[in-house]
Chains A and B, each alone.
Chain A
């Protein structure tokens, strides 16, 4: 059977675009277009998710993508990645220091007395999961009052801009191995395909852009029993990392802006003593754009699991770099699932033909029932 070129659907596709827009604006006269600033602030965690999975720290465009794609995180991330692919790359930054992060949240579940103290920041961890019905008819006045009141109540603070990292304190106590400065050139997943085995920098970059639910599912599988990471969060921090670039004339590090990031270090079980070195804990690391705590924790668990898989061979799916890294990208996997919606008329027709042929052959070899020989 040969391929048959067909045409058609152009008007239907144009109509689909109009139909999508008609639903976005279905409120009609009672509605108003969502301002990007409102999406960026009131849906800040959704914005964080999209810019993290899109791999581009651009909160305003992430908000635009959310608006355009009507809340579909995968499509919004796809749009953000498509945008980034049209932009020239001007530079690779020097190594940025997350230690200098201007924190808004910092906790440890490993130690209660961490240097500088624990500060919950903006979290829903301790909130009741009960619907707040007062938000149903929230008036503009009460909305503005909350922010005004918070700013009015601010007292002078002697807190520093940034805080020392908990893992550094553990290192000083000899509970963690020292952190060498590794000047290796990191793997750029936007320019090079993942051909296994890949270096850890490729794994970290892939996990940082991965889809949150995919990371969570695989990390959960590991800690539930399909793996052996027993994580304790040494530190989870959320804050703004100053981006320091050399001044084009003086070379002096100059702040070009800041990036909201979530960073997590998990301490895992003690490493087996394969050498004569004293036993120490091992670490997993997660850090991604935006305020994405579940993602950073899941990433840290998977990093630890993948370290084991890379060193000793995988014993579970979550320890297998190829299994994890080729299946956690939301845009990739969404694209694959969505491609099934495209016409498969020819391939499916050949399957129908094969099935009919098989059925005919089967019928020819099977004695007819109810006929006595």
Chain B
């Protein structure tokens, strides 16, 4: 998904690889509240205990193509299993740039519900769309920083107002 702010984007479903980003754009209380609703409905177990810590970020330098670490980033991870009344199991997980393991767990719960289309998953769609709208607005603002400062070079003396281009 590219966050362009186009109306058509707002109607398209949000792909799974963008769920965490869209959810992180929201107030964390909204995410927690949505996850808590499912906690009340389903039996949810931690496959791995939620953790928060750091990840060492690796990039590739633009000169010689060597890899190096410019520093670390916060990271929270969680992996959950939802067990339905008939014994069916559905897993979800999340890795997000955040300090809060509990928030990662809430996103993992929503990931499990959405990915497996469990009962009530439709309640998460508006959250994703809202997050996507926030990100689209953010992208628009960033592009405005570029668009309003675009340099239009022209040879000196070619136009009457040389410096206005």
**B-binding residues in A (CB < 8 A):** 52, 54-58, 84, 87-98, 102-106, 112-113, 117-123, 150-151, 153-157, 159, 161, 165, 167, 179-190, 200-202, 204-205, 208-209, 239-241, 243, 245, 247-250, 252-259, 261, 263, 265, 283-285, 287-289, 303
Closest residue of chain A to B48, judged by CB?
A248
Q: Are A248 and B93 in contact (CB under 8 A)?
A: yes
Contacts of B66 in A (CB 8 A): 182, 184, 186, 200-201, 204
Contact among A91, A98, A119, A239 with B59 in the assembled complex (CB-CB below 8 Å): A98
Chain A min CB distance to B66 (Å)? 5
User: How many A-B pairs with Cβ below 8 Å?
Assistant: 241
The 10 closest A-B pairs by CB, nearest first: A257-B97, A283-B63, A248-B93, A285-B63, A120-B149, A88-B53, A204-B68, A201-B68, A55-B71, A119-B146
CB closest residue in chain A, given B153: A112
Chain A residues with CB under 8 A of B68: 186-187, 200-202, 204-205, 208
The reply to whether B95 and A285 form a contact with Cβ atoms under 8 Å apart is no
Could you tell me if B61 and A285 are in contact, using CB atoms closer than 8 angstroms?
Answer: yes
When distances are taken between beta carbons in the complex, the residues of chain A under 8 Å from B142 are: 102-104, 239-240
A255 near B21: Cβ-Cβ < 8 Å: yes
Question: Cα distance A181–B62 when bound, in Å?
Answer: 11
Of B2, B54, B150, the contact of A90 (CB 8 Å cutoff): B54
Taking a contact as CB atoms under 8 Å apart, the answer to whether A150 and B92 are in contact is no
Stretch at the interface among B27-35, B37-45, B72-80, B122-130: B72-80
Contact with A along B129-149 (1 / 0, CB 8 A): 000000000011111111101
In the complex, chain B residues whose CB is within 8 Å of the CB of A188: 56, 69
Contact call B56/A92, Cβ cutoff below 8 A: yes
Give the CA-CA distance A150 to B147 in the complex, in Å.
Answer: 12
Q: Is the CB of B72 within 8 A of A84?
A: yes
Known: A90-B53, A265-B62, A285-B62. A209 touches B71 (CB 8 A): yes
Could you tell me the distance in whole angstroms from the C-beta of B13 to the nearest C-beta in chain A?
Answer: 15
Q: Which residues of B contact A204 (CB under 8 A)?
A: 61, 66, 68, 70
Query: What chain B residues lie within 8 Å of A258 (beta carbons)?
Result: 97
Q: Smallest CB-CB separation from B65: which chain A residue?
A: A179
CB-based contact A57/B72 at 8 Å? yes
Quick check: A87 and B143 within 8 Å, CB to CB? no
- Residues of the A chain whose Cβ atoms lie less than 8 Å from the Cβ of B98: 257
| A contact residues around B75 at 8 Å (CB) | 90-91, 256
A172 to B65 CA separation, bound complex (whole angstroms): 15
Q: Assess whether B63 is in contact with A250, with CB atoms less than 8 Å apart.
A: no
Are B62 and A56 in contact, CB atoms less than 8 angstroms apart? no
Asked if A247 contacts B63 (CB within 8 A), the reply is: no
A157 vs B153: C-alpha distance when bound (angstroms):
20
A215 to chain B, nearest CB (A): 14
- Is the C-beta of B165 less than 8 angstroms from some C-beta in chain A? no
- Name which of B53, B62, B145, B153 has the most chain A CB atoms within 10 A of its CB: B62
Interface contact B72-A56, CB-CB below 8 Å = yes
Known: A257-B97, A259-B73, A284-B63. A92 touches B55 (CB 8 A): yes
Q: Output the residue of B59, B79, B142 with the most chain A CB within 10 A.
A: B59
Q: Closest residue of chain B to A106, judged by CB?
A: B146
| B53 CB → nearest A CB, Å | 4
> Which of B91, B97, B99 is close to A243, meaning CB atoms less than 8 Å apart?
B97
B143: chain A residues at CB < 8 Å are 157, 159
